[in-house]
Amino acid sequence: MTTITQGHAAQDHAHDSHGPGHGLSRWLFTTNHKDIGTLYLVFALVMLFIGGAMALIIRAELFQPGLQFVNPEFFNQMTSMHALIMVFGMIMPAFVGFANWMIPMMIGAPDMALPRLNNWSFWILPFAGTILLSTLFMEGGGPAAGWTMYPPLVLQSGNSLAFAIFAIHLLGMSSILGAINIIVTVMNMRAPGMTLLKMPMFVWTWLITAYLLILVMPVLAGGVTMLLTDRFFGTSFFQAAGGGDPVLFQHIFWFFGHPEVYIIILPSFGIISQIIPAFSRKPLFGYSSMVYATAGIAFLSCIVWAHHMFTVGMPLAGEMFFMMSTMLIAIPTAVKVFNWTATMWRGSLSFETPMLFAVAFLFLFAIGGFSGVMMAIAPVDFQYHDTYFIVAHFHYVLVPGALFAAIGGAYFWLPKWTGHMYDEKLGKIHFWLSAVSVNILFFPQHFLGLAGMPRRIPDYATQFADWNAVSSIGAFVFGFSQLMFVYIVVKCVRGGAKATAQVWDNPEGLEWTVPSPAPYHTFDEPPLVR
């Protein structure tokens, strides 16, 4: 759904506070929400390719049994760094970029509430990312214990562990500052008449996500700080030899780690809730139920963490509680899927590139959701645990889920951001290449996991060879087809057909109208919210 499509250009100049000069200093000192949104999105795109290159090293090594390209230690560093880069360096900054660009426009605010903080929370990121990547070049290499950084594995890492933990602190700090900014903006800067239950779904999902971030990020910070003192200062929080408990770290990590998954997916839900009504040419079905479902998901995500730990030997009552609460989270998620489907039902549908990504999201995210319900069943999870079935499950949630939503959102709002239309034909080719290859990449991993292939191994038994080869071919096609996305975006930014005020051809009556010369924060009538 296009938000307010006219009149904002005039504001660009009024609210540009680019600091001294132009060129480089404009980007360094900017407090303009659009510039900062662009910086976040460009940073995320760069990190996508760095993290993606690591994934391709992993898949190249796994193409055949035996050790081909890298030694096992470097392989483990790649699996750990790939995850940390993709989660903290790519997908979260991408969604913060969307939030920066769109939230002020969607609620009729002139800018974010705390513009200098906004600048700072972005500029922490490139330095944090550089520190994290630099661990690969230190003696002993980067952390090689998975992104979960479980002790005792991580406590055998070299001195680079201190730098990795520092980088994680910085990345978390950036997220918390961004979340504070979003909450203050949404709570204090809505246009008159824009009550909470009239806000677009994207704003709602980000408001709830921001509260989640502030709740769980400090927990991760505490956990990694305890790791740091165990490794360098002689404490024994997680070392059994000194009276500590490695399972304690799992509780701390997953109390952060599970809500983190929803921190990633809720803004995706928001983007999909904007795209589907626009191309169905209908209001979003069940708006208030979508808001409550989002809040329900966020609440439940904080009480299900130990489903990652069914195999640590917890009491039966604990297993039952975490099994039931995990299954409960399927209900608000299903409400969302049904509402998106109902929005499309008997709508006047058209399938431009953003809609294709949104529909693919719907199908493929549902696959990730169903396999999640399978893994919620505690006795069965003993079989799935730490196999490739888990890898298939969470990649179905995060790649055709979060990444497809981000790409769909980029196509959806590119005309608004640049004033130009992207190349629709190339966009559709990019979609089909991505949608087909992502399934060739991840679907076979379900079979591998059910057959018993463990995750995080550089070598494997020969019976797993065929599906691994298929998966690796899918990975390379998917990875290289994202270069096409960069080409489409650059081509769109540099020029192309001018975007009209009604980019996505909304029928009259559904287009949001803005009384033109009036500035955003003084309308008597708020924009129509579907």
Contact indicator for 318, 306 with CB cutoff of 8 Å? yes
Active site residue 147: yes
- Catalytic residue, candidates 204, 262, 396, 520: 262
Tokens of 215: 């709740």
Cα 131 from Cα 44, distance rounded (Å): 16
Which bin fits 529, alpha (ψ -120 to 50), beta or left (φ > 0)?
A: beta
Active site residue 307: yes
Active site residue 258: yes
In DSSP notation, 22-66 reads STHHHHHH---HHHHHHHHHHHHHHHHHHHHHHHHHHHHHTTSSS
Crossing angle, helix 330-344 and helix 287-301, to 10 degrees? 150
Tokens of 91: 């997908």
- Catalytic residue, candidates 258, 282, 385, 395: 258
- Catalytic residue, candidates 2, 3, 80, 273: 273
Tokens of 372: 């999640």
Active site residue 308: yes
- Catalytic residue, candidates 15, 59, 82, 430: 82
- Catalytic residue, candidates 230, 260, 319, 381: 260
Active site residue 340: no
Which bin fits 452, alpha (ψ -120 to 50), beta or left (φ > 0)?
A: left
Cα 374 from Cα 56, distance rounded (Å): 28
Phi and psi (nearest 5°) for 2? Answer: -65, 140
- Catalytic residue, candidates 2, 5, 79, 175: 175
Contact indicator for 176, 88 with CB cutoff of 8 Å? no
Contact indicator for 90, 52 with CB cutoff of 8 Å? no
Number of other residues whose CB lies within 10 A of the CB of residue 169: 19
Active site residue 185: no
Contact indicator for 399, 438 with CB cutoff of 8 Å? yes
- Catalytic residue, candidates 15, 33, 336, 395: 336
Active site residue 33: no
Active site residue 455: yes
Q: Give the CA count within 13 Å in the CB-facing half-sphere of 340.
A: 25
Cα 444 from Cα 468, distance rounded (Å): 8
- Catalytic residue, candidates 8, 26, 428, 455: 455
- Catalytic residue, candidates 5, 38, 333, 471: 333
Cα 379 from Cα 370, distance rounded (Å): 17
Q: Which helix (H) or strand (E) holds 182?
A: helix 160-188
Instruction: Please report the sign of the dihedral spanned by the C-alpha atoms of residue 142, residue 95, residue 492, residue 352.
Output: positive
- Catalytic residue, candidates 34, 190, 282, 308: 308
Tokens of 496: 């192309």
Active site residue 175: yes
How many degrees, rounded to 5, is the angle at CA 319 between CA 316 and CA 325? 140
- Catalytic residue, candidates 27, 147, 467, 504: 147
- Catalytic residue, candidates 33, 169, 231, 307: 307
Burial of 483 (0-12, 13-18, 19+ CB in 10 A): exposed
Contact indicator for 238, 226 with CB cutoff of 8 Å? yes
Crossing angle, helix 424-450 and helix 465-494, to 10 degrees? 160
Active site residue 262: yes
Q: Give the CA count within 13 Å in the CB-facing half-sphere of 315.
A: 3
Residues annotated as catalytic (active site), given as ranges: 82, 111, 147, 174-175, 258, 260, 262, 273, 307-308, 333, 336, 455
